[in-house]
Amino acid sequence: MPDRGVCGRLWSLGGREDPSRDGKKGWTQVTEHISTASLKRQAVFWLATVGTLVLFLYVFRAVLLPFLAGLALAYFMDPVADFLERRGLSRLAATVFILLAFLVLFIIALAVIVPILATQANELLARLPGYIAQLQGLIASLSVETTWLAEHVGIDVDSLQSSLDELVAQGAGFLTTLFQGIWSSGKAIVDIAGLLVVAPVVAFYMLLDWDKMVARVDSWVPRDHVDTVRRLAADVDRAIAGFVRGQGTVCLILGLFYAIGLTVAGLNFGLLIGLFAGLISFIPYVGSMVGLVLSVGVALVQFWPDWIMIVVIAGVFFAGQFLEGNFLQPKLVGGSVGLHPVWLMFALFAFGTLFGFTGLLVAVPAAAAVGVLVRFAIEKYLDSDLYIGSSEASDDASAVD
């Protein structure tokens, strides 16, 4: 029988059948009429809970990164630990085996990939001013041959060239500042060191005691709300696991596809651009668009006037979009996650502004959790006197009597 994860364990704690095991939508199918007073009490409880959590994250945002990373590792490795336990290993042995395997793979990846990416990033920074000058020269040479735009379309070519030059300069300046900030920031180095040292330790202890912690947290929930909390936890678990595991696999496949395709095509910095485009592909269309613009910009400088190679570079991203839309997304993610792209981008900007890099890490699970809570609130509102009206509710009650 497949592992039901946190969802199944929370329901088993209450001696209830997990609604995710049948083919229905789960707890949202079962509703009961709610009075306005009850709705207000529940609203106060949930607003206080969410407010306390946000305040905690904001106050301790500077030190949360390794602990959240350890928590995420423990959360996603817990089904593997449960699987190994069912195969006869003790919880301690399963935890040690999982973390050792993860660390070995992580170190190998760092030793092989990071030096190449660092070299390409430094080389890109060194070549960026020259690339800008070449692109501006290319735009100037093209504008000489496109005077027909002004004659037939009514476009001011000089104004268009000035705008393009300004756009290229601003974009290049932003990229230069971004890369220099990343590579020269002492705080970033400290954060990475803390992440590599503290996160595995946190993950070890949390993975070792995960089931006990879930049971302990369940025992702290107010008894009036325990069933609701368990049901919400089940929905949040499904949303986070479905999106992060599914979309994470999509991003990994796309990153490898773009990186290999651009490298084979001979594009400078193809590995760096491809992996970066795949990394941000969890926001629909953003990864492919950013990667397309960067790669075509480099291709124009590198291959001009060979239009065939430029088309080949662009074709890598069009092929990636076809692969994602027709195969990866339907098979690995599906349509049940419920994270709209606009809501996801808002969460990234909001949490990134409030909590920095730590906020970017928690933005996706937080967006999934908030989405579940909003749907829950709407369900309660639609079944309350505030929406139905007291007269209709009284008529329904009389009909039942």
Given a cut of 50, is residue 126 above it in pLDDT? yes
- Calpha distance 284→291 (Å, rounded): 13
Residue predicted with more confidence, 370 or 160:
370
- Calpha distance 12→14 (Å, rounded): 5
The three-point CA angle 26-28-34 to 5° equals 145
Centre a 10 Å sphere on the Cβ of residue 276 and count the other Cβ atoms it contains. Answer: 20
Query: Tokens 């399963």, residue?
Result: 94
Q: Which residues of 55-83 are buried (b: 16+ CB within 10 A; e: fewer)?
A: eebeeebeebbbbbbbbbbbbbbbbbbbe
Given a cut of 60, is residue 281 above it in pLDDT? yes
Give the model's confidence band at 29: pLDDT under 50 very low, under 70 low, under 90 confident, else very high. very low
Phi-psi region of 266 (alpha: psi -120 to 50; beta: other; left: phi over 0): left
Given a cut of 90, is residue 113 above it in pLDDT? no
pLDDT at 96: 92
Q: In this predicted structure, which of 183-187, 260-264, 345-349 has the lowest mean pLDDT?
A: 183-187
Q: Within a domain: residue 322?
A: no
Average pLDDT in the 324-350 region? Answer: 74
Residues pairing with 34 in the sheet: 384
Q: Within a domain: residue 135?
A: yes
Query: Tokens 């080389």, residue?
Result: 123
DSSP code per residue over 1-60: ----HHHHHHHHHTT---GGGSSS--GGG----B-HHHHHHHHHHHHHHHHHHHHHHHHT
DSSP code per residue over 304-319: TT-HHHHHHHHHHHHH
Average pLDDT in the 97-125 region? Answer: 82
Give the model's confidence band at 174: pLDDT under 50 very low, under 70 low, under 90 confident, else very high. low
Domain housing 108 = 63-218
- Count of domains observed in the chain: 1
Average pLDDT in the 136-152 region? Answer: 58
Give the model's confidence band at 171: pLDDT under 50 very low, under 70 low, under 90 confident, else very high. low
Is the model's pTM score more than 0.85? no
80 within 8 A of 99, measured Cβ to Cβ: no
Sign (positive or negative) of CA dihedral 328, 331, 333, 334:
positive
* φ, ψ (nearest 5 deg) of residue 4: -90, -5
- Calpha distance 21→27 (Å, rounded): 12
- How high is the mean pLDDT of the chain? 74
Report the first-to-last Cα separation within the chain, whole angstroms: 44
Tell which residue, 275, 232, 235, has the closest CA to residue 255.
275
- Calpha distance 4→260 (Å, rounded): 36
Give the model's confidence band at 111: pLDDT under 50 very low, under 70 low, under 90 confident, else very high. confident
158 within 8 A of 146, measured Cβ to Cβ: no
Share of the chain above pLDDT 70, in %: 69
Q: In this predicted structure, which of 22-26, 323-327, 347-351 has the lowest mean pLDDT?
A: 22-26
The beta-carbon contacts of 176-184 under 8 Å, at least 24 apart in sequence, are 176/125, 176/128, 179/121, 179/124, 179/125, 180/125, 183/121, 183/122
37 within 8 A of 384, measured Cβ to Cβ: no
Q: In this predicted structure, which of 175-189, 255-269, 337-351, 382-396 has the lowest mean pLDDT?
A: 175-189
Average pLDDT in the 137-164 region? Answer: 57
Q: In this predicted structure, which of 65-79, 87-101, 145-159 has the lowest mean pLDDT?
A: 145-159
Q: Within a domain: residue 149?
A: yes
pLDDT at 97: 92
- Calpha distance 146→140 (Å, rounded): 10
Average pLDDT in the 392-398 region? Answer: 52
Average pLDDT in the 307-313 region? Answer: 89
Q: Within a domain: residue 294?
A: no
Residues pairing with 384 in the sheet: 34
Query: Tokens 């004659």, residue?
Result: 151
Q: Within a domain: residue 357?
A: no
Share of the chain above pLDDT 90, in %: 4
pLDDT tens string 216-273: 888 888 787 788 888 888 888 888 877 777 778 888 899 999 999 999 988 888 888 8
The beta-carbon contacts of 358-361 under 8 Å, at least 24 apart in sequence, are 358/57, 358/61, 358/64, 358/65, 358/68, 359/57, 359/61, 361/65, 361/68, 361/69, 361/72
Q: In this predicted structure, which of 37-51, 126-140, 147-161 has the lowest mean pLDDT?
A: 147-161
pLDDT at 24: 41
- Calpha distance 31→50 (Å, rounded): 23
What 8-state DSSP symbol labels residue 283? Answer: S
